[in-house]
Amino acid sequence: MAGTVEIDRAAVEHRLMTIRKGIDQLESLGPLGGARFENDPTTGLVVERILALLVDLAHLINRHAAEVVLGVTPRTCEASFGAAAKAGMIEESLAADLAPMDGPHHVLMQLSLDTEPEEAAAVVAGALTGYAEYVRQVAEWIADHRPGV
């Protein structure tokens, strides 16, 4: 690890717990097809908000890991996923999945709701899969980076 600064395990673990809760909340909504979003616009807003929270929490975790391990502070959410991969916290393919070229999942969700509600379900499914894997990889990484290990 760069310097003498240690990973703030408590902060990372708390953020992972909040990400898990967000995933659980999204899954508890049940099927999220285009008709549901068209008939119940509130559901779309809730989903978009949870997706925004997930990316914000991941950004904080990624930034912290990049600062401690690499000695750099990524300026954007997208850059933070690349830095997290470079720090060895997550796989590069996962970093790419969670930082799509078209924008973060919550932005893609909002765009889908505005233009193609039937595509929104695929955005949510991709985010759920990606963030569940993110939690798994980060939890494994944090366990491997205990003080003295």
| Domain span holding position 36 | 9-144
> For the chain, what percent of residues have pLDDT higher than 70?
92
Residue with tokens 């750099």: 72
What is the model's pTM?
0.89
d(CA 41, CA 131): 24
pLDDT at 70: 94
On whether residue 4 sits in a domain, the answer given is no
Give the pLDDT confidence of 74-130 residue by residue, as tens digits.
999 899 999 999 999 999 999 999 987 676 677 778 877 788 888 888 888 899 999
Domain count, the chain: 1
On whether residue 74 sits in a domain, the answer given is yes
Q: Give the containing element (helix H, strand E) for 132.
A: helix 117-144
On whether residue 149 sits in a domain, the answer given is no
On whether residue 126 sits in a domain, the answer given is yes
d(CA 117, CA 110): 9
123 burial via Cβ count (<10 Å: 0-12, 13-18, 19+): buried
d(CA 46, CA 124): 12
> 40: helix, coil or strand?
coil
Domain holding 60: CATH number?
A: 1.20.120
